Amino acid sequence: MKLFIDCQRYMKGYRILVLFAMSISFFSGCKMKENSPLYLNSSVPVERRVDDLMSRMTLKEKVGQMNQRIGESFFTKDRENLKMNMLNDLQNGLVGSYLMIENAEEYNKLQRIATTSGLKIPFLNAIDAIHGLGLYYGATVYPTAISQATAFDPKMVEQINAQTAVEMRATGYHWAFWPYMSVTRDPRWGRVGENFGEDPLVVSTMAVAAIKGLQGDDYTAPDKVIACAKQVLSDSHPNNGVNVSPAVMSDRLLKEVYLPPLEACIQAGARTLMPAHNEINGVPSHANKELLHDLVRETYGFDGYIVSDWKDIEKLDNFHKVAPNQKEAVKLAINAGVDIHMFGDNFVDELVELVEEGQVPMERVDRTVRAILTDKFRMGLFENPFVDEDKVNDIIANPEHRQLALESARKSIVLLKNEKNTLPLSKSLQKILVTGPLADHNAIVGDWVHSQPDENIITVIEGIRELAGQQMDVEFYNPGDIFDVNEESIAEAVKRSKDADAVVLVIGDNDNRTQTDWNLNHFHKNRTGGENVDRADITLSGMQEELAKALSATGKPVVVVLINGRPLAVEWIAENIPAVIEAWQPGMKGGQAIAEVLFGDYNPSGRLPMTIPRNGGQIPIFYNHRPSMFAHYYSDIKKGPLYWFGHGLSYTTFVYHDLNVPETIVKDQEIPVSVMVKNTGVLAGDEIVLLYVNDKYSSVTTPVKELKAFTRVHLEPGEEKEVKFNLPFEALSLLDKELKKVVEPGEFEVMVGDLMKTFEWTEK
């Protein structure tokens, strides 16, 4: 009995102890919850979360958010010290963003380190998603920018970038260093393929479409990313055609040609910008306060953040020589308007010192950090910093994305020449020979693409064989890479053409980096284009033209297919080969699209977004030139370029009629213009309708014509449609002698197709 009573007492005491412990635990939990940082509470408004987090951050931790590092795959054995410095920064909460992390696994690994550091701040992950996520193994590779511009289809560009954003978020990327918004007029420059061509309207329209695709209406949606409009400014205007070279130009040229796309991108909501490597009129872009702050922020109203290009802050010291050391370079760049330092050591400590010394204002740092943290909160990275590695392969290069890659490749092809009805090739031919150094080459995908699965890329020969099937004998002869073509391989190609009914010759440039050590060297011996591969001679490299001449001499019908990122001066081919296709760099499905055009399964519709010169000595040459530009011509070459901007043929014919413009123009109101377009051929096809305006007489010289609107229209045989445009009144404007935008009274010409009408505006 006593034992029973003792046990009861024991159990009662135990229950009291348990209840006491539970009460302590409960109240401790309440206290812990109360002490949990407000910024980690997702129900709190973003602005308050940012305020709370910034109040907890040291100066060094704030500067760390302005510090961008690069993925581990970049660090070769001789760079282990840099890798360790990077990891130390990450563990100490001193990395705000990353560039070029190789894959989802590496991203998750690094993000786990970041989110277990002191303040648990995740990083933004950036990538050069130039034409799809080409730097990621297995992702969709779309046609390059110059190819996309050829389609004159901004909705297509928007869709490409929307799909790219989906693949980016699935693989752990939040930030695309894209779009390029530089107007490009110099084919010597190796980066032409990354751009949308020579016309400011086309460049602006396509760049804005890319931003809309990447960011959508709200870049914080789970399938959207931050866009970065680059390069600020005019790196596409190197005075000698070489990347990074100085740009020297008038204020008029800047305001008429190079600034409109930048302003358009900012008005479209581009969240970030990137300065160019270059200098403009003696001032390096990364130290140009007048450009990056006064113009971009104060005049255009940009409220995002600006990331430096690759170690370009350091270049203010060791390259441009406007700063005596790196610390002074950091001061110049940050005070000019650069917010984030792309890759490199010592930045954090140097900027901390500059702030402590009063050489960089504290509010300058706070503004940047507030913008960066706001994006991290709005994108949900504090709650969901990781990606599902198991789902990556179901999302990248999925059937829907592959289909768009094919459709955009089709639209990107330009039929430059087609004499004697050489094209389309008849499927009743017994045998064709496919040859040329690029007929079975990954140059078809362009620059900014890592190695991809072989099964993902359709080369030209693969596309032709698949389409021809068993109907004809398709022989392929590889004469070697571009610089391997020689007299022996040319002779062999000629020999093999003897019993062929037609020859398809695939030649051009190779911008692709897959044969190159990405980390250390952009200059593989077989690269003839792309970033940092500029050329004084824009004719065909090696003995490619000799190969074309030898095959043409056989008397066989020869079709030349050009694969290239820049216009090539192929005068002999343009004058002697009966059929020429400008395929640019049509991406992973390019070979199929080219085959469909060759055999008539797809009717080509592309138009040139850039003028093709007949000789490098004509550079610069562009369609919207001043009246006096060709008052005289070169005495040693034929007049004019090979092909003007806007050129492009079809397998059908289109006729324009009934161009209508109003008799009375009302100030500040849209100008309605309409034209009838009819397909008078036997094949369905797309027609790209281009509308130009010319101010006949003005106080300053204006272009002989300037593109003001464009659209695509699909027409069945015999079908006609009315195409309508509503031109803004501003389309008639010019910059007067004081560089103010005005519309001057007088006569204007509207040109559409082969039609032209004159109207007059009189200011009342």
Answer yes or no: do 182 and 250 share one domain.
yes
Decide: helix, strand or coil at residue 526: coil
What is the band of 85 on the pLDDT scale with cuts at 50, 70, 90?
A: confident
**Which of 184-198, 478-492, 520-534 is predicted least confidently?**
520-534
Q: pLDDT of 294-333, one tens digit each? A: 999 999 999 999 999 999 999 999 999 999 999 999 999 9
What is the band of 524 on the pLDDT scale with cuts at 50, 70, 90?
A: low
Q: pLDDT of 171-198, one tens digit each? A: 999 999 999 999 999 999 999 999 999 9
pLDDT value of residue 262:
98
Name the token pair of 737: 């002698």
Is residue 19's pLDDT more than 50? no
Is residue 141's pLDDT more than 80? yes
Contacts 24+ apart (CB under 8 A), 753-760: 753/654, 753/656, 753/675, 753/677, 753/689, 753/690, 754/656, 755/656, 755/657, 755/659, 755/675, 756/659, 757/659, 757/660, 757/661, 758/696, 759/661, 759/662, 759/663, 759/665, 760/665
Identify each DSSP E strand in 89-221 by its residue range.
Answer: 97-99, 124-127, 175-176
Cβ neighbours around 107 below 10 Å, total: 22
DSSP string, 324-339: SSHHHHHHHHHHHT--
The number of distinct structural domains making up the chain is: 4
pLDDT value of residue 124:
98
Answer yes or no: do 294 and 309 share one domain.
yes
CATH number of the domain at 258, please.
Answer: 3.20.20.300
Q: Which helix (H) or strand (E) holds 474?
A: strand 473-477
Mean pLDDT (whole number) for 478-483: 96
Is residue 139's pLDDT more than 70? yes
Tell me phi and psi for residue 327, to 5 degrees: -60, -45
**Owner of token pair 């305001």:** 255
Mean pLDDT (whole number) for 619-637: 95
Mean pLDDT (whole number) for 84-106: 93
pLDDT value of residue 462:
98
- Per-residue DSSP letter, 44: S
CATH number of the domain at 665, please.
Answer: 2.60.40.10
Query: Is the residue at 156 inside a domain?
Result: no
Answer yes or no: do 301 and 355 share one domain.
no
Mean pLDDT (whole number) for 38-42: 97
Give CA separation, 324 vs 88, 236, 316, 353, 392, in Å: 28, 28, 9, 17, 47
What is the band of 515 on the pLDDT scale with cuts at 50, 70, 90?
A: low
Answer yes or no: do 497 and 585 share one domain.
yes
List beta partners, residue 679: 654
Mean pLDDT (whole number) for 690-702: 97
**Which amino acid is residue 717, in one-letter code?**
P
Give CA separation, 172 vs 4, 211, 224, in Å: 65, 19, 12
Say if residues 598 and 642 touch (Cβ distance below 8 Å): no
CA 423, distance to chain mean position in Å, is 32
Query: Is the residue at 102 inside a domain?
Result: yes
Answer yes or no: do 378 and 330 share one domain.
no
Mean pLDDT (whole number) for 200-209: 98
Answer yes or no: do 564 and 436 share one domain.
yes
Task: Work out the percent of the chain whose per-residue pLDDT is above 90.
Answer: 89
Query: Is the residue at 678 inside a domain?
Result: yes
Answer yes or no: do 570 and 587 share one domain.
yes
What is the band of 10 on the pLDDT scale with cuts at 50, 70, 90?
A: very low
pLDDT value of residue 2:
39
Cβ neighbours around 501 below 10 Å, total: 17
Say if residues 117 and 371 touch (Cβ distance below 8 Å): no
Average pLDDT over the chain reads: 93
Answer yes or no: do 304 and 206 share one domain.
yes
Answer yes or no: do 442 and 354 share one domain.
no
Is residue 499's pLDDT more than 50? yes
Query: Is the residue at 16 inside a domain?
Result: no
Query: Is the residue at 244 inside a domain?
Result: yes
Query: Is the residue at 440 inside a domain?
Result: yes
DSSP string, 227-241: EEEEEET-TT--TTS
Name the token pair of 113: 């380190």
Answer yes or no: do 114 and 189 share one domain.
no
Is residue 593's pLDDT more than 50? yes
Strands 734-735 and 741-742: antiparallel
Q: At what angle do helices 590-598 and 460-468 cross, to 10 degrees?
A: 50
**Domain-terminating residue out of 306, 338, 370:** 338
CATH number of the domain at 510, please.
Answer: 3.40.50.1700
Could you tell me the sign of the dihedral formed by the alpha carbons of 738, 620, 705, 267, in that order?
negative
The CA distance from 570 to 580, in Å, is 10
- Per-residue DSSP letter, 651: S
Answer yes or no: do 473 and 578 share one domain.
yes
Name the token pair of 501: 């009914």
Tell me phi and psi for residue 676, to 5 degrees: -95, 135
- Per-residue DSSP letter, 534: -
Query: Is the residue at 13 inside a domain?
Result: no
pLDDT value of residue 31:
37
Task: Provide the CB-side half-sphere exposure for 31 (13 A, CA).
Answer: 6
Is residue 28's pLDDT more than 90? no
Query: Is the residue at 131 inside a domain?
Result: no
Answer yes or no: do 558 and 425 share one domain.
yes
Q: What is the domain extent for residue 729?
A: 654-761
Q: At what angle do helices 362-378 and 347-356 cross, to 10 degrees?
A: 130
Is residue 32's pLDDT more than 80? no
Whether pTM > 0.85 for this model: the answer is yes
pLDDT value of residue 81:
78
Q: pLDDT of 420-431, one tens digit each? A: 999 999 999 999
